[in-house]
Amino acid sequence: MPEKPRYKQALLIDDDEVDNFITRHVLRSASFAESIEIKSSVAEALSYVNALVAGVKNLPDIIFLDIAMPELDGFIFLEAFRKISDHIKMKSRIIVLTNAEAGEPTFLHAKNDPLIYSVMLKPLSVEALQKIS
């Protein structure tokens, strides 16, 4: 019998198709989420999240966010996400996926942001997922 997914819905925000393919595969193989929505830009992700909020639908349980994206980066997404009512956004955990090393400014900025649950290096692995409680 297949393992029951830990989360109902995951949202992946990343502009890299290869990273999206790997992350989706890892999430599926780990039975991590029932559904996985992928948005390839911050603008697309914000439109999706705003539609959920306007429709009084639940936000994803977990959001995997790439920081380094063209045009609008992940920090722009975080600033917009902060403006959502706390009682609506409180069930969503944001995991930053990055290529930045632990000492780099981008990594440190993400690590110190109270909205971010965790920062993980790309590519995502099943072992990294096991660290998420």
- Quickly state the pLDDT bin for 62 (edges 50, 70, 90): very high
- Is pLDDT at 47 greater than 70 in this prediction? yes
Picking from 118, 124, 79, the residue whose alpha carbon sits closest to that of residue 99 is 124
104 lies in which domain range? 7-130
Mean pLDDT over all residues of the chain?
92
pLDDT at 2: 62
| Within a domain: 85 | yes
pLDDT at 84: 93
- Residues 98-133 have pLDDT tens digits of 987 777 888 888 889 999 999 999 999 999 999 887
Q: Which residues have a Cβ under 8 Å from the Cβ of 16 and sit 6 or more positions away? A: 66
**For the chain, how many structural domains are there in total?**
1
Instruction: Tell me which H or E stretch contains 47.
Output: helix 42-54
CATH code for position 45: 3.40.50.2300
Place of tokens 């990294």: 128
